[in-house]
Amino acid sequence: MTNNTPPKPHVAFLPSPGNGHITPLFELALRLVTQHNFQVTFLVITTGATLAQHNYFNAFKPLPDNLHLLNLPPADMSAFHLDHMTAVARLSVVVRESIRPLPTILSEINLKALVVDIFCTDAFDTCKHLNIPVYSFFTASAALMALSLYLPTMDNEIEGEFVDLPEPVTVPGCNPIRTQDLLDQIRNRNIDEYKWYLFHVNRLPMSAGILLNIWDDLEPVTLKALKHEKFFLNIPTPPVYPIGPLTKEIEPVLDDHDKEIMTWLDDQPKDSVLFVVLGSGGTVSSEQLTELAWGLELSQQRFVLVVRKPSDSPDASFFNAGSDPDDPRVYLPDGFVERTNGVGLTVCSWAPQVAVLNHQSTGAFMSHCGWNSTLESIKHGVPMIGWPLYAEQRMNASMLSEEVGVAVKVAVVGDGGETVVVGRDEVAKVVRMVMEGEEGKRIRKRARELEVSGKEALSCGGSSYESLARVIELWKSES
């Protein structure tokens, strides 16, 4: 008896290393398999993979039928001095070397499309030869997307450094960006970091479409500009599809360390706890960690503090996220853990972020404002204290406080864009403002409005659901 069932449409995904890139692409892959009857091959770059990456994938075992993880063989990086490279340069080189087997792999799969992130644009060349359409999943904000598309024009028309401009940068149709908030990658045009970022964003118009991890209500001004502003139409900008908020739905299996956190939260009043964690790869200096700890103690507010080894490099943990933790007491003021016992809980290196944000005791989130963490916080109706560290996080913190209205921004950036140490009194003041003050009530109300809006966007008939449905119809019709 012949089986006449047509094959499921097959899409592949290729994220660059780092959970901030992997998570949203994998969540979309899961959605395609479980809700839309697709087959998915998820290509995993194994070179330099972190423990956090392994833990994330392990949480999904066994994988759903029709979702296949394909580990790319480790690349030979002996010719490169990775430890001396900045983050974007290192990511770009690791991706370029890791995807050398891609032509062979993709030629053996009958693909409708390949979905890549911003640092995997080298895949455009392979797919052009194989006649496979490539879609870019831009895993940050629409505001950064618009700035990135505008960057080649800035590069051609502006002399000198962008940070020295006398006025904010105005992307056509978008809200102005203060020069001190510009992302790290474009603050110095003479370094590899800038050249690599410019290389990748120059190639974005080669995409068949751009997927954005936002929804219509979150960034309406920028989204309108991307779709209708003359500048973006003339590039031309590929079709833009807001399909978010796609965030981590499953935590790695809770161990005793995680269960201790959740049990402690169970004993706290509703909305009373400040969750303090500055991303999976973020670090602060020893001096700043001391001031942060003193500020939490002086605020007299309940908190869960995730402590990581301090460093003067804010992204020092990016390439070893989730590694074995140290005793946090080594890095904190003498007696801090003992003095705050009962009011606060101090944990090492890692916490089950989604579970904590989803807990009714969590009242606010002190965050680095990375885009995944931002969406997770809003998705659970939790307001933020923005403490940006690197990349585009300063842009995010300003937008979340001034435009979206879900955050209070800590003044960690000086007038020249330099990182400054925030003193304990200022930390205590901001914490009390958000946990007890009228400003905290206002941003909590707004966060809960967007929580509802985000759920509606992803529901059948919602704006993001329909946006993804349009992409799916395109993929199904690709010959």
Question: Pairing relation of β-strands 134-138 and 209-212?
Answer: parallel
Q: How far apart are the C-alpha atoms of 177 and 181, rounded to whole Å? A: 7
402 secondary structure, DSSP code? I
Q: At which residue do the structure tokens 């870019």 appear?
A: 136
319 secondary structure, DSSP code? G
Q: Catalytic pick from 10, 68, 76, 117?
A: 117
Nearest in space to 316 (alpha carbons), one of 94, 87, 80: 87
C-beta neighbour count of 234 within 10 angstroms: 9
- Taking phi first (over 0 means left), then psi (-120 to 50 degrees means alpha), and beta for anything else, what does residue 195 get? alpha
Distances (CA, A) of 54 to 14, 299, 320, 352: 16, 37, 11, 15
Q: How far apart are the C-alpha atoms of 324 and 223, rounded to whole Å? A: 41
Q: How far apart are the C-alpha atoms of 194 and 21, rounded to whole Å? A: 19
C-beta neighbour count of 344 within 10 angstroms: 23
C-beta neighbour count of 325 within 10 angstroms: 15
Q: How far apart are the C-alpha atoms of 423 and 436, rounded to whole Å? A: 20
Q: How far apart are the C-alpha atoms of 245 and 213, rounded to whole Å? A: 6
Q: 21 an active-site residue?
A: yes
Q: Catalytic pick from 21, 200, 359, 380?
A: 21
Question: Pairing relation of β-strands 273-276 and 67-72?
Answer: unpaired
Size (the chain), residues:
479
Nearest in space to 20 (alpha carbons), one of 388, 382, 318, 452: 318
Q: How far apart are the C-alpha atoms of 148 and 189, rounded to whole Å? A: 14
- Taking phi first (over 0 means left), then psi (-120 to 50 degrees means alpha), and beta for anything else, what does residue 70 get? beta
The dihedral sign for the CA sequence 183, 379, 142, 193: positive
Q: How far apart are the C-alpha atoms of 196 and 88, rounded to whole Å? A: 7
Q: Which two tokens stand for residue 451?
A: 């929580």
Nearest in space to 18 (alpha carbons), one of 67, 56, 58: 56
Q: How far apart are the C-alpha atoms of 375 and 373, rounded to whole Å? A: 5
Q: How far apart are the C-alpha atoms of 52 and 279, rounded to whole Å? A: 12
Q: Could you list the active site residues?
A: 21, 117
